[in-house]
Amino acid sequence: MTATGTTSVIHPTATIGAGTTIGEFCVVGPNVKIGSGCKIGNHVVIHEDTVVADTVRIDDHASLGKRPMKAANSATTKEQELPPLTVGELSIVGTGVVLYRGAAIDPKVLMADLCTVRENVSIGRGTIVGRGVTVENFCTVGRYCKLESECYITAYSTLEDRVFVAPGVVTSNDNFVGRTAERFKHFKGVTVKRGGRIGAGTVTLPGVTIGEDALVAAGSVVTKDVPARTVVMGTPARKLRDVPVEQLLENQGWVDA
Amino acid sequence: MTATGTTSVIHPTATIGAGTTIGEFCVVGPNVKIGSGCKIGNHVVIHEDTVVADTVRIDDHASLGKRPMKAANSATTKEQELPPLTVGELSIVGTGVVLYRGAAIDPKVLMADLCTVRENVSIGRGTIVGRGVTVENFCTVGRYCKLESECYITAYSTLEDRVFVAPGVVTSNDNFVGRTAERFKHFKGVTVKRGGRIGAGTVTLPGVTIGEDALVAAGSVVTKDVPARTVVMGTPARKLRDVPVEQLLENQGWVDA
Amino acid sequence: MTATGTTSVIHPTATIGAGTTIGEFCVVGPNVKIGSGCKIGNHVVIHEDTVVADTVRIDDHASLGKRPMKAANSATTKEQELPPLTVGELSIVGTGVVLYRGAAIDPKVLMADLCTVRENVSIGRGTIVGRGVTVENFCTVGRYCKLESECYITAYSTLEDRVFVAPGVVTSNDNFVGRTAERFKHFKGVTVKRGGRIGAGTVTLPGVTIGEDALVAAGSVVTKDVPARTVVMGTPARKLRDVPVEQLLENQGWVDA
């Protein structure tokens, strides 16, 4: 049995696991599957077919399983069939979060307030998606990453495991800045290799690869690839020094959990 | 007849067109006019007098027709009579969007999730207002513009048609940075002429004009006017070269739709 | 008596003052205290124990008194007992705002749409927290500050009275960028002394102090302390000149209200 606010509207085809609680004024659509031991706030909307695993916390005003909006004028959003949104066990979905149908969220992911994860995105186990972060469509985010508050991950980006993206980071994917039909063949986000770190308020240009365990200093503008284990700084960013040994990923003693 | 979630609260003076569907827990205020064939999500609030045209999509948790908030300490918000919010046909209003009374939205505008359009703003036909974008009060935005995710359009700005503003762009309007009574006479946003483009993560200072079809490279700080068809780059931004011919607006073959 | 939307769910232990109005589909939790003359919108959630003073305006979809989310992988959020959220009289809480339990908001504070104030934060009288602003945990914000739209105040920051933070400002608090156990001892936000001003789109590094009445020019990257009454500019920011006399705080004729 479940303790459900008497005001919520649950579709008869939805299934809800034992011990899950649902607040007031929620809407749970057709064929939604919610696991056991979840704690769902108020005014949460879970659209059709969404699958939420066990022990997930979802806060007020979150909207899960949203279908993409297609503008007449959009360069990258196409009409398509999308698999249902899946949210892994022990994940947390913050207040006002928007998760799209076609996103796949691993277990133990924290999605902080007002972040958005678009369609055709996967987020790896134990990753933190910070407050207000946008992960655009067609991105792959690895495990144990930290995407700090208000960073912006452009479409067609790949972040490997243990990547750190600081607050206010901006990334881009269109070297043609919205012009020429040619550009559609060249959209390319950023790639950050395992353990790469991008400092606060930086701007990274389309197609750039940040190497393994490399570090971009705060406030830099990154115009070309950054070699592994290298600190770059400035506008445009240039090599400053090697990453200090004690900061290397291999010296943190971190174990996947 | 309309298919309306039985839980919504519709004021008796509101009118709703044929074929429009309304989700659960919506609030539709006095004298609201909603056209036919609209698709309205859950927990949507449409405040009094708002006019929504035909075939508009409005997603969960959007709030339309909000009245401005007046802080004791505000420099630019005045108490005033405002005309009702109008939203043109075939427009899309994303999840958690906030549209103010006194905004006029043309047809075919996409307002992505969590964006805000303030009072005394007009948005032209076919424009995309990206995820999390803020268009402050007293702005004019032209037709077929793209304001990409998380860009910030300061009060008293003018963007002409076909303007492109990349993700994370910041604009400002107060050269006195909040000091002197003098400043109230000099508030001036940015002006971007037809086809002007502003790259990712740039900062543009108060009163600057970006010329027709000009381009500001990503990461720049723009401190003075940019001539037409010129690429500028750097801090402060200086001329780099002319805009490549194949990127000029006149060579895109774009037709107003 | 109160005029309350008949659809709202008010816990029997909540108290609501005379003349307060509450919109539709609100949720007011146990032991909440709401003063008199408040105007509360639709879909507002006020969590248990929250104290809202007299004459407060709260707009649609705001969520007050939220408990922190604890990620397995978080560096700075600890489980803790938190005092109830308090919101001072004549304050305004915008649409979609998220205020955490453990925040203390003085009277006459404006919190604009979609801003977030975390736990263990105090906001002084008459301050404006702009649209989309994040004030992270363990921050102190003084009186009559202006935190403009989309600025980001990192954890462990102190802003004294009359501080001005322009749109899109980014601050940071971790010089080790997420690596070494050492870093936990050194987390340090930014300090902005009385009347200090930070220009649009700037980035300020961890532990920096902006001096009394100092000014950081737009687009700068601030890597070290800024002396009082000094204008700094550039990447890294260097002294440009003294703050013009007419812009000094002492020459504004401002009186605390």
CA-based R_g, chain A, Å = 19
List the single range of A80-84, B197-201, C62-66 with lowest mean pLDDT. A80-84
Q: What span, in angstroms and rounded, lies between the C-alpha atoms of B114 and A118?
A: 13
Average pLDDT, whole number, for chain B? 94
Residue B180 has pLDDT above 60, yes or no: yes
A186-242 residue pLDDT tens: 889 999 999 999 999 999 999 999 999 999 999 999 999 999 999 999 999 999 999
Residues 1-60 of A with CB under 8 A from C: 5, 7, 23-25, 41-43, 57, 59-60
Of C24, C57, C246, the CB nearest to B69: C57
A123-133 residue pLDDT tens: 999 999 999 99
DSSP character at residue C184? G
Q: What span, in angstroms and rounded, lies between the C-alpha atoms of B149 and B169?
A: 9
pLDDT of residue A184: 84
Neighbours of chain C (3+ CB pairs under 8 A): A, B
Q: What span, in angstroms and rounded, lies between the C-alpha atoms of A200 and A203?
A: 9
Q: What span, in angstroms and rounded, lies between the C-alpha atoms of A8 and C124?
A: 38
pLDDT band at A2 (very low <50, low <70, confident <90, very high): very low
Which residues are CB-contacts of A211 (< 8 A; sequence separation ≥ 6)? Answer: A193, A196, A225, A226, A227, A228, A229, A230
Q: What span, in angstroms and rounded, lies between the C-alpha atoms of C37 and C89?
A: 10
DSSP character at residue C37? S
Residues of chain A with Cβ-Cβ distance to B167 below 8 Å are 152, 154, 170-172
The torsion angle over the Cα atoms of residues C78, C150, B118 and B86, rounded to 10 degrees, is: -70
Neighbour-count burial for C181-205, b at 16+ CB within 10 Å, e otherwise:
eebeeebbbbbbbbbbbbbbbbbbb
Residues of chain B with Cβ-Cβ distance to C167 below 8 Å are 152, 154, 170-172
For chain B, the distance separating the N- and C-terminal CA atoms, rounded to the nearest angstrom, is: 31
C188-218 residue pLDDT tens: 999 999 999 999 999 999 999 999 999 999 9
Q: Smallest CA–CA separation between B142 and chain A, in Å?
A: 14
Cα atoms found within 13 Å of the Cα of residue B86, Cβ hemisphere only: 15
pLDDT of residue C2: 45
Residue C92 has pLDDT above 80, yes or no: yes
Residues 187-246 of A with CB under 8 A from C: 197, 199-201, 215, 218-219, 234-235, 246
Residues 91-120 of C with CB under 8 A from B: 92, 94-96, 108, 110, 112-114
C219: its two tokens: 């687009």
Neighbours of chain A (3+ CB pairs under 8 A): B, C
Residue pair A192/A210 in contact (Cβ under 8 Å)? The answer is: yes
pLDDT band at B1 (very low <50, low <70, confident <90, very high): very low
Q: What span, in angstroms and rounded, lies between the C-alpha atoms of B49 and B52?
A: 10
For chain A, the distance separating the N- and C-terminal CA atoms, rounded to the nearest angstrom, is: 31
B72 with C126: Cβ contact below 8 A: yes
Residue C100 has pLDDT above 60, yes or no: yes
Alpha carbon B229 to its chain centroid, in Å, reads 25
Q: Smallest CA–CA separation between C90 and chain B, in Å?
A: 9
pLDDT of residue A182: 82
Residue pair A35/A50 in contact (Cβ under 8 Å)? The answer is: no
Average pLDDT, whole number, for chain C? 94
Q: What span, in angstroms and rounded, lies between the C-alpha atoms of A115 and C256?
A: 37
Residue C63 has pLDDT above 80, yes or no: yes
Of C5, C92, C96, the CB nearest to B71: C92
Best probe of the C interface among B28, B42, B45, by most C CBs < 10 A, is B45
Residue C231 has pLDDT above 70, yes or no: yes
Q: What span, in angstroms and rounded, lies between the C-alpha atoms of B86 and B47?
A: 11
Q: For residue B3, report the phi and psi dihedrals to the nearest 5 degrees.
A: -95, 105
Secondary structure of residue B78 in the 3-state scheme = coil
How many A/B residue pairs have CB atoms within 8 Å? 129
Of B127, B132, B199, the CB nearest to A177: B199
Residue pair A10/A4 in contact (Cβ under 8 Å)? The answer is: yes
Best probe of the C interface among A55, A60, A165, by most C CBs < 10 A, is A60
Residue pair B124/A51 in contact (Cβ under 8 Å)? The answer is: no
Query: Which whole number is the average pLDDT over C161-182?
Result: 92
Alpha carbon A218 to its chain centroid, in Å, reads 21
B182-210 residue pLDDT tens: 888 888 999 999 999 999 999 999 999 99
Closest CA to A115 of C114, B190, C38: C114
The residue count of chain A comes to 257
